[in-house]
Amino acid sequence: MNAIGWLRRFFHLPRTLRWRLFLILFAGLAAAHALSFGVLFLERYMTAKTMMLGNLEKDVGTSIALLDRLPANERQQWIAMLERRNYRYELGPGLPGVPELSGLGTEIAETINEAAGRRFPVTVETVPGRPQRLQAHVTLSDQTQVTIDLRPKVMPLANWLPYVLIAQLLLLILCTWFAVRLAIRPLLRLANAAEALDPSKKAARLEETGPKEVAYAATAFNAMRDRIAHYLEERVQILAAISHDLQTPITRMKLRAEMAEESPEKEKLISDLSEIERLVREGVTYARTAHGTGEKPARIDIGSFVESIVFDYQDTGKAVTSPETIDAVVVTRPHALRRIITNLIDNALKFAGEAEVNVGKTPEGRTCITVLDNGPGIPEGQLEAVLQPFYRLEQSRNRNTGGTGLGLAIAHQLALAIGGSLNLRNRPEGGLAAEIIFG
């Protein structure tokens, strides 16, 4: 198991790269910061303790010698003057204690014994309770007992230092977050550009700026997009050339077939040639729609536009109606939109014999054109598949019943070309609903 897998297993790292980098960088910097603080604290603690013990040794030696030389009736007057911040002197046996000493207590006891124990007997005990309290019992030359009451407290750090450390941690978090954001931003920009990649559309190129590695990645991405666009353009040109070259021999073959004597084989041959011609034409149409359309957007009244298409079908005797429509002006590509609507209406007429076209608005305010039919619908698992080229629900080889499998695919590609989408769904009451959302 690698390091990342181990960390994910035991520490449950988040899935986003941003948070992973942030946690790793912050943990490393915080650990280094804590280590530096620990070294500083230990060094200051040792220095402060050494200074405290050194001062204690000198002061205790001098104070005990002074009290020993003073007359007994004058000692009480000097007791108050000998008091220090962490310890004081008092005449008498002091409080009862226990002989157990802590690490610091042992060092203090050794220091006091070193200062006074050579001339005077010394006993150091711990007074139970918190905070730590020690009492050193010293017997002077005249057998008078002097108690040194100590409350050892080593202060290696100033009171304001914790606030500085908190401020440093906050600054560390801010700088780490900024560094991670600066490092992740080019990656997010590259990911967004890759997700929006559509060589058939003219989009702004990825900025080739920033650090050397980022600029190189952006240059490579732009070059890749250019190669894909060039490849697709070549495929379209090849298909266009093939279709152009096929038109002439197909036309000659149809003329020769029509000049032949009437027979069942003649009708079949003409039908097959017409089917070949239609397949070539629809295949080229799909290739061109997949590569985009060069049509310029125009302002149209969407209600009148759809009604004109419906009227054209009604003039030919087709059962196409438009009971719901709106009056709204939209900017779109009219010829592409007309091809989408006619493909969907033709599909509805083929499988249901009638079609209903409604125009409205989505809750987000986008224009929505819905083509409804009462046909058999499409199985739920194939609603997405039918938008792919040459996919037919009817699996027979009869093109009259199954079609070429390009009608919905062309409508889908054109919907993307006009900046919209084509969605298919089965109606609860039966039939299919095809929604074109754009604008």
- CB neighbours (10 Å) of residue 276? 14
Side chain identity at residue 305, one-letter code:
F
The length of the chain is 439
Find residue 360's DSSP bridge partners. Answer: 368
User: Which residues lie closer than 8 Å to 275 by C-beta, 6 or more apart?
Assistant: 399
> For residues 95 and 246, what is the distance between their CA atoms, to the nearest angstrom?
117
> For residues 173 and 165, what is the distance between their CA atoms, to the nearest angstrom?
12
Torsional sign, CA 93, 94, 98, 100? negative
* Strand, coil or helix: 361: strand
Side chain identity at residue 306, one-letter code:
V
pTM over 0.85: no
User: Which residues lie closer than 8 Å to 409 by C-beta, 6 or more apart?
Assistant: 286, 387, 388, 389, 390, 391
In this prediction, residue 401 carries a pLDDT of: 47
Asked if 189 and 205 touch (Cβ cutoff 8 Å), the reply is no
The half-sphere exposure of 371 on its side-chain side, counting CA atoms within 13 A, is 30
> For residues 260 and 251, what is the distance between their CA atoms, to the nearest angstrom?
14
Element spanning 304, H or E = helix 302-315
* Strand, coil or helix: 2: coil
> For residues 66 and 305, what is the distance between their CA atoms, to the nearest angstrom?
115
**Torsion angles phi and psi, residue 148, rounded to 5:** -100, 110
In this prediction, residue 312 carries a pLDDT of: 92
In this prediction, residue 398 carries a pLDDT of: 40
* Strand, coil or helix: 421: strand
In this prediction, residue 395 carries a pLDDT of: 46
> For residues 217 and 295, what is the distance between their CA atoms, to the nearest angstrom?
33
Distances (CA, A) of 181 to 174, 211, 356, 372: 11, 14, 52, 48
Specify the DSSP class assigned to residue 201. Answer: S
> For residues 396 and 405, what is the distance between their CA atoms, to the nearest angstrom?
12
In this prediction, residue 202 carries a pLDDT of: 67
Specify the DSSP class assigned to residue 364. Answer: T
Considering only CA atoms, which of 102, 114, 120 is closest in space to residue 59? 114
439 residues of the chain, pLDDT tens digit each: 555 565 555 556 566 777 777 888 888 888 888 888 888 778 877 877 777 777 777 877 787 778 778 888 888 888 878 878 777 888 888 777 777 777 777 777 777 777 776 677 877 777 777 777 777 788 888 888 888 787 777 666 667 777 888 888 888 888 888 888 887 888 888 888 887 776 656 677 888 877 788 788 888 888 888 888 788 777 777 776 777 777 778 878 878 878 877 777 878 888 888 877 777 777 666 666 655 556 788 899 998 999 999 999 999 899 999 988 888 888 988 988 998 999 899 989 988 889 999 999 988 889 999 999 998 888 888 888 888 776 766 543 344 444 556 778 888 888 888 888 899 999 888 889 999 998 7
Q: Does a cis peptide bond (omega within 30 degrees of 0) precede residue 156?
A: no
**Torsion angles phi and psi, residue 158, rounded to 5:** -75, 160
**Residue 228: exposure state from Cβ atoms within 10 A (0-12, 13-18, ≥19):** middle
Domains and CATH numbers, the chain: 1-192 (no CATH), 212-287 (no CATH), 293-438 (3.30.565.10)
> For residues 386 and 95, what is the distance between their CA atoms, to the nearest angstrom?
96
Q: How far is CA 61 from the centre of its chain?
A: 69
Do the bridges between strand 329-332 and strand 367-372 make them parallel or antiparallel, or are there none, so unpaired?
Answer: unpaired
> For residues 380 and 190, what is the distance between their CA atoms, to the nearest angstrom?
35
Distances (CA, A) of 150 to 131, 156, 200, 274, 418: 11, 18, 86, 113, 88
**Torsion angles phi and psi, residue 438, rounded to 5:** -155, -175
Considering only CA atoms, which of 387, 419, 429 is closest in space to residue 406? 387
In this prediction, residue 290 carries a pLDDT of: 59
Q: How far is CA 102 from the centre of its chain?
A: 54
